[in-house]
């Protein structure tokens, strides 16, 4: 009985620790909320974490489709046991569509002293049909022509065992407390290097390279991704197209060579039969012979014999 009481007290304690800050944000006025789904997924305004870098360039209007393309262009490589090194998107397609729409919506009304913070859910494959559920948190803002995204917690696994203790029925969500990242210091939860791409770079803040802080030139990154997609859809790559160009050029040269060879063979035939000798001067006939010899269409012996015949006709 005593153990049960201690366990219940422990559950209440952890519930309070997990929920205190989140509940405060949950009951905030709706004017700060941009989007919400349930208890633990939301996108909302929050005061800048620091003014050390100056105010944001808000409000700003960005095309949600361009934002989505820019977010899709955020990729990194990861080594997997069975498949080796593979490309991974920072965000899933569902997350991209959600964030792009809500960022565009939020930035239109954002104040210079406000950031947009977000916490969204995701799933990772585990074993067979099982999956790990996780949270992804961070903050976003627009400054100096770039959409800034700071990742705080990346693939933060949900404590499903504790959630079951909190509510065995599984109907109620356990309120979590989240961190949304900082301009001053990285949480180092996003440890990968982004793949180089036009319009995408990492921030160097306070003399430190930040893997968790992305700078997106939205129109440029979007345009680059669309160009990449168009090239992938084309059955011929850039190298293949160059090969095609070279092959066409070679085929044209071969056609010209065949035509020239045909013409020279005819002239050689005329020389052998004596036809056309009256229409050509000896000099022209010798020039033709020289051309035939230079292209290896006649042997040196044949050249000498024909040249002597031409000279004898003078």
In this structure, are 204 and 92 located in the same domain?
yes
User: Which range among 2-16, 20-34, 238-252 shows the weakest confidence by mean pLDDT?
Assistant: 2-16
299 part of a folded domain:
yes
Do 205 and 301 lie in a common domain? no
Instruction: Work out how many domains the chain is built from and give that number.
Output: 2
Q: Is 240 domain-assigned?
A: no
The mean per-residue pLDDT over the stretch 79-107 comes to: 91
| Selection from 177-181, 239-243, 264-268, 301-305 with the highest mean pLDDT | 177-181
Q: Do the domain assignments include residue 241?
A: no
pLDDT band at 90 (very low <50, low <70, confident <90, very high): very high
pTM above 0.85, yes or no: no
Residues 275 and 155 in one domain: no
Pairing of strands 208-216, 156-157: unpaired
- pLDDT(299) > 70: yes
What is the extent of the structural domain holding 80? 2-233
Query: Is the model's pLDDT at 8 over the cut of 50?
Result: no
User: Which tens digits make up the pLDDT trace of 199-225?
Assistant: 999 999 999 999 999 999 999 999 999
How far from 16 is each of 37, 39, 178, 181, CA to CA, in Å?
A: 22, 15, 14, 22
**Would residue 244 count as lying in a domain?**
no
Report the C-alpha gap between 286 and 216 in whole angstroms: 71
Residue 238 counted as domain residue = no
**Are 214 and 263 found together in one domain?**
no
Question: What is the C-alpha to C-alpha distance for residues 199 and 193, in angstroms, rounded to an integer?
Answer: 15
Residue 48 lies in a domain: yes
Residues 174 and 294 in one domain: no
Q: Are residues 286 and 170 in the same domain?
A: no
């Amino acid at each position: 009985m005593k153990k049960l009481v201690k366990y219940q007290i422990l559950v209440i304690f952890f519930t309070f620790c997990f929920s205190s800050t989140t509940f405060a944000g949950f009951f905030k006025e709706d004017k700060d909320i941009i989007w919400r789904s349930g208890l633990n997924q939301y996108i909302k305004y929050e005061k800048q974490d620091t003014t050390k870098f100056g105010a944001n360039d808000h409000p700003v209007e960005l095309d949600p489709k361009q934002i989505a393309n820019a977010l899709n262009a955020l990729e990194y490589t990861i080594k997997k046991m069975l498949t080796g090194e593979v490309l991974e998107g920072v965000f899933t397609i569902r997350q991209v569509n959600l964030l792009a729409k809500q960022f565009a919506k939020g930035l239109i009304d954002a104040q210079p002293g406000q950031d947009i913070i977000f916490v969204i859910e995701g799933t990772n494959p585990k074993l067979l049909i099982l999956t790990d559920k996780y949270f992804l948190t961070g903050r976003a803002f627009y400054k100096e022509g770039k959409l800034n995204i700071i990742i705080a917690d990346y693939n933060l696994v949900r404590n499903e065992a504790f959630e079951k203790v909190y509510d065995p029925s599984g109907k109620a969500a356990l309120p979590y407390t989240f961190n949304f990242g900082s301009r001053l210091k990285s949480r180092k939860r996003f440890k990968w290097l982004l793949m180089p791409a036009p319009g995408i770079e990492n921030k160097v803040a306070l003399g430190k390279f930040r893997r968790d802080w992305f700078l997106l030139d939205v129109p440029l990154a979007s345009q680059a991704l669309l160009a990449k997609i168009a090239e992938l859809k084309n059955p011929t790559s850039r190298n293949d197209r160059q090969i095609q160009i070279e092959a066409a050029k070679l085929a044209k040269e071969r056609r010209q060579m065949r035509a020239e060879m045909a013409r020279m063979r005819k002239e050689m035939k005329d020389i052998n039969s004596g036809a056309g000798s009256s229409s050509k001067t000896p000099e022209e006939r010798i020039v033709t012979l020289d051309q035939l010899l230079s292209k290896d269409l006649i042997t040196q012996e044949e050249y000498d014999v024909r040249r002597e015949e031409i000279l004898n006709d003078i």
